[in-house]
Amino acid sequence: MTAISRDEVAHLAHLARLDVTEDELDRFAQQLDVILQSVQRINEVAAEDIPPTSHAVPLTNVYRDDEPRPSLSRADALAGAPDTDQDRFRVPRILGEEE
Amino acid sequence: MSDITKKTAAELGEAIAAGDLTSEQVTSAFLARIEAVEPKIHAFLHIDADGALATARAVDARIAAGGKFGPLAGVPIAVKDIVVTKGLPTTAASKMLEGWIPPYDATIVERIKAAGLPILGKTNLDEFAMGSSTEYSAFGTTHNPWDLNRIPGGSGGGSAAAVAARMAPLAIGTDTGGSIRQPGAVTGTIGAKPTYGGNSRYGLIAFSSSLDTPGPVTRTMLDAALLHEVIGGHDPLDSTSIPQPVPPVVEAARTGLTGDLSGVRLGIVKEFASGEGAEPGVIAAYQAGVDALVKLGAEVEEVSCPHFTYALPAYYLISPSECSSNLARYDSVRYGLRVGDNGERSLEEVMAATREAGFGPEVKRRIILGTYALSAGYVDQFYGQAQKVRTLITRDFDAAFAKVDALVSPTTPFTAFEFGARTADPYQMYLADLYTIPSNLSGGPAISVPSGLSDGLPAGLQIMAPTMRDDIAYRVGAALESTQEPRLSDQIPDVA
């Protein structure tokens, strides 16, 4: 079944917030098609009554006492920021004037 | 090549502790080797000579003052550039993180520092650890010391090549679908993937969180075990870390080196034994390894793991799904690259332009594949089914380990291929991980040990053991190594 079209790849790239070039669209559509055909096989074996495993370690919430501990200093935390203002991260405007 | 760089990490640690060598001498010798060989190999993305020498001198001073350290104190190490290191650039081989300097250390790096190992630098990898050849690094590929026209494996090609070319006696890799073991196999080195949860993931840049596992890359089994004990053990900062002590891997490696495997039962995975699609030379090297293990007293029987052949397709649905989610954080807003922020584009447009510019082809392919596998209408058919296959594979392991102590298989279906040979067809590249993926899906430990040469290139034998029984894999691996005189890792061509 699943043949993945060029339009579908474009849609998925949009959902993933990924600009792709025209050339990439052609290439990815063809490559993803091959990959999807190959992975289809999993449907041969995984029956209704098999419980899914999402993780190798049984996951449980891990709690600790709510005690203050040392954290990164302000200078360390800001060291990787492209721009700062008054000990804070400075980020570009994302809303228009009227919003 | 100096005599120092020929020694194993265990030998260097002993010499430093005994005062026969200083850590500064050892570290300087490896830095000199890097200077000589790195232009041909390109194993490193960042070299920290000053930092390594400063650590070495500090360790020397503390040893001279009678300070107590572990057996690897003063022995230098290289760290895969997907593990964060305070004050040292960490890029995951992606333009997205070019120039980023982390403000903290991964837990395994903290442990490496506490044990007194100078960090030589950060090693090359496939971008965000996605690949099997290190050809998807944004900063140039790494070359295999056995043949400079061939790939060093991936994603940990830099770590494996650094160890193989004797630029570092030890390295850290990470293994999501085989990224420690496959590079180990194709460079003639040891690649050990510990039990998932046995080694902390805190400070590893996430690719596929339910699979990623950090572990040792070395030239000998004992070195791998010594490093495993340095980095292993419970970490409260990682909620998936198993609250149990590190298995006695060093003791197991020493036992293995005596060459006695009597009473050890090994299972040959029937579904992998045929070697379908594998190079005949790789299968022959593997068979020679099995024969050597039998001579040491191991009992061998064939066991059936009928779902192992479905591991590859399940992995290539699960890991892209987790990757598409994990890599959503590179959104141009919080950290990393930002492109096209000229005040005229919308936030979404800046995000999409940034991700287009910052990610390479394999990463994009997997993000799109993961987005597809998780999308409404397909999630049950793909992601849900893949998780059921994961259950079936874990059951296969459980059934096998009810009969035998460990499973053996080839590590890879083929030896190091030439650059570009598999990049056009991603599925052909994915086949490199055919044998390594089952233990990632189940979480159990697995180690690749060199088992021979095929057309002059190394091939590996993989040993898979039950969860938190890493010691069994170390014992069997060390026994196999003990039959090789000289060790395969001592036969790596000198590229200088």
Q: How far off is chain A from B146, nearest CA to CA, in Å?
A: 31
Helix ranges (H only) for B20-178 are: 23-41, 49-64, 107-114, 157-164
Interchain contact, B426 vs A20, CB within 8 Å: no
* Angstrom distances, CA of residue B280 to CA of A23, B396, B468: 38, 26, 33
Interchain contact, A38 vs B391, CB within 8 Å: no
- Pick among A53, A73, A93 to test the B interface (most B CBs inside 10 A): A53
How many residues are there in chain B?
496
Q: What's the pLDDT at A98?
A: 61
Q: In sequence order, which residues have a C-beta less than 8 Å from that of residue A65 and are 6 or more positions away? A: none
Q: Is B353 on the interface with A (CB under 8 A)?
A: yes
Distance CA B50, CA B488 (A): 33
Helix axis angle for A22-39 and A6-15, nearest 10°, is 100
Q: Is the dihedral of CA B385, B387, B393, B395 positive or negative?
A: negative
Q: What is the CATH number of domain A6-45?
A: 1.10.20
Using alpha carbons, select from B99, B382, B7, B95 the residue that is nearest to residue A79.
B99
Q: Is the dihedral of CA B2, B249, B256, B181 positive or negative?
A: negative
Q: In sequence order, which residues have a C-beta less than 8 Å from that of residue A20 and are 6 or more positions away? A: A9, A10, A13, A28, B356, B364
Instruction: Output the domain CATH number for residue B421.
Output: 3.90.1300.10
> Could you tell me if residue B197 is inside a domain?
yes
> Could you tell me if residue B233 is inside a domain?
yes
> Could you tell me if residue B467 is inside a domain?
yes
Helix axis angle for B9-18 and B49-64, nearest 10°, is 50
Distance CA B312, CA B426 (A): 13
* Angstrom distances, CA of residue B27 to CA of B41, B73, B87: 19, 12, 19
Residues of the domain holding B211? 9-267+404-490
Q: What's the pLDDT at B236?
A: 92
Q: How far off is chain A from B372, nearest CA to CA, in Å?
A: 7
Per the residue annotation, which of B7, B80, B122, B193 is the catalytic one?
B80
- Pick among A5, A18, A40, A59 to test the B interface (most B CBs inside 10 A): A18
Peptide bond into B451 cis (omega under 30): no
Interchain contact, A31 vs B425, CB within 8 Å: yes
**For B210, which residue in chain A has the nearest alpha carbon?**
A55
The two three-digit tokens of residue A56, written as one number: 């190798």
B contact residues 384-423, partner A, Cβ 8 Å cutoff: 384-392, 394
Distance CA B108, CA B231 (A): 5
From chain A, pick out residues whose CB is under 8 angstroms from the CB of B344. Answer: none
Q: What is the domain count for chain B?
A: 1
Interchain contact, A72 vs B390, CB within 8 Å: no
The count of other CB atoms within 10 Å of the CB of residue B243 is 10
Using alpha carbons, select from B323, B361, B423 the residue that is nearest to residue A20.
B361
> Could you tell me if residue B111 is inside a domain?
yes
Q: What's the pLDDT at A61?
A: 85
From chain B, pick out residues whose CB is under 8 angstroms from the CB of A34. Answer: 425-427
> Could you tell me if residue B343 is inside a domain?
no
> Could you tell me if residue B354 is inside a domain?
no
The count of other CB atoms within 10 Å of the CB of residue B50 is 9
> Could you tell me if residue B368 is inside a domain?
no
What phi-psi label fits residue A30: left (phi over 0), alpha (psi between -120 and 50 degrees) or beta?
alpha
Please give the ipTM for the structure prediction: 0.91
Distance CA B41, CA B161 (A): 7
DSSP B270-297: HHHHT-TTS-HHHHHHHHHHHHHHHHTT
Per the residue annotation, which of B179, B409, B448, B482 is the catalytic one?
B179
Residue B19 is given by DSSP the state: T
Residues of chain B short of pLDDT 50, as ranges, are none
Contact B277, A38 (CB under 8 A): no
> Could you tell me if residue B428 is inside a domain?
yes
From chain A, pick out residues whose CB is under 8 angstroms from the CB of B434. Answer: none
Q: Is B364 on the interface with A (CB under 8 A)?
A: yes
Distance CA B175, CA B154 (A): 10
Q: Is A1 on the interface with B (CB under 8 A)?
A: no
Distance CA B47, CA B122 (A): 6
pTM for this prediction: 0.97
Using alpha carbons, select from B198, B300, B290 the residue that is nearest to residue B240.
B198
Contact B175, B181 (CB under 8 A): yes
Distance CA B317, CA B389 (A): 11
**For B341, which residue in chain A has the nearest alpha carbon?**
A92
Residues of chain A short of pLDDT 50, as ranges, are 1
Distance CA B471, CA B198 (A): 12
What residue type is B91 in one-letter code?
A: T
